[in-house]
Amino acid sequence: MSNQTASITTGQIGFLGAGSIVEAMLSGILKKGLTAADRIFVTNRNNSERLEQLTDAYGVNATTDKLAVARASDILILAIKPKDAGEALLELRGTISPNQLIISVIAGVPTSLIGEWLGVDCPIIRTMPNTSSAVGLSATGLSANAFVRPEQLALATRLFEAIGTVHEVAEEELDIITGLSGSGPAYIYYLVEAMMGAGATAGLDREMARQLTLQTVIGAAHMLLETRAEPALLRRQVTSPGGTTQAGLEVLESYRFQEAVTAAILRATERAREMGAQYR
């Protein structure tokens, strides 16, 4: 079966910012054939080496002329850090027209503030994907402002559906999604680091510990998806009374594992809200 999706636009897609999330999105978008590489323009603050690297790897166009990219893009994807957003978007003031679609992946920053900085009432879709976009497995939340037309929302939804799943939500919920699934891959990687390390410490070959850990994570994710069973039930099915799993889980409980994960996600959510307020 082909992995390719029909092209979603004949227009130009511009990326303001050329960091980790842009590379993950580029990789996913091009693998799925959502548009041709020569219709994509990438720009950043001043790191021309990085632009060259993206041009070489993906065949996209790259330039440090941000205003030219902003002006010419039918869809402009904002992918700069929240702390840089005010300065960067004020620079674009006067270049954006209401016919362009702005898609933001910036954590915490509300669409109202983006519109204020750009100085125009234009369609803005705020989103929160994650870096698994690179392999077509992002979990993306998105929310549209009042100027977004249904066909623009449909286009953005198709774009993110091609690189994962999409949930349309109320804008306030995007901060929670940022703490949960935007940051989420890092929590899983952290767990994987610990599991691999433990396997190796206990005496396994490191590469084998890696393979066993990854297959365990993939298997558990598929079990959750395919059986649709509650995670607590699946956990109980692994846990023989008085056995190894119970012994392991008791240690996790003594370190308040679930409390730690809950506190991490709530703190990340709070941080998204703080960033929206801090950088205005």
Name the minimum Å distance from CB 275 to ligand NDP. 8
66 is in an annotated binding site: no
Write the Ramachandran bin of 178: left for phi over 0, alpha for psi from -120 to 50, otherwise beta: alpha
Q: Which span (89-97, 132-140, 175-183, 257-265) binds ligand A1CAB, by CB under 6 A?
A: 175-183
196 and 210 Cβ atoms separated by less than 8 Å:
yes
Name the minimum Å distance from CB 17 to ligand A1CAB. 12
- Binding of residue 65 to ligand NDP (CB under 6 A): no
Considering the complex, state which of residue 107 and residue 155 has its C-beta at the smaller distance from ligand NDP: 107
Question: What is the full DSSP assignment across 172-223?
Answer: THHHHHIIIIISHHHHHHHHHHHHHHHHHHTT--HHHHHHHHHHHHHHHHHH
80 is in an annotated binding site: yes
Decide which of ligand A1CAB, ligand NDP, none touches 73; Cβ closer than 5 to 8 Å per partner kind.
none
Decide which of ligand A1CAB, ligand NDP, none touches 126; Cβ closer than 5 to 8 Å per partner kind.
none
Considering the complex, state which of residue 8 and residue 272 has its C-beta at the smaller distance from ligand A1CAB: 272
- Binding of residue 157 to ligand A1CAB (CB under 6 A): no
234 CB-near residues (< 8 Å, 6+ apart): 220, 223, 224, 227
Question: What is the full DSSP assignment across 50-118?
Answer: HHHHHHHHH--EE-S-HHHHHHH-SEEEE-S-HHHHHHHHHHHTTT--TTSEEEE--SS--HHHHHHHH
Decide which of ligand A1CAB, ligand NDP, none touches 31; Cβ closer than 5 to 8 Å per partner kind.
none
- Binding of residue 141 to ligand NDP (CB under 6 A): no
**Considering only residues 165-184, where is the footprint of ligand NDP by CB under 6 A?**
182
Residue found by looking up tokens 């209401």 in the block = 98
Using alpha carbons only, what angle is made at residue 87 by residues 52 and 153, rounded to the nearest 5 degrees? 75
Decide which of ligand NDP, ligand A1CAB, none touches 20; Cβ closer than 5 to 8 Å per partner kind.
ligand NDP
Chain contacts with ligand A1CAB (rule: CB under 6 A): 107, 178, 182-183
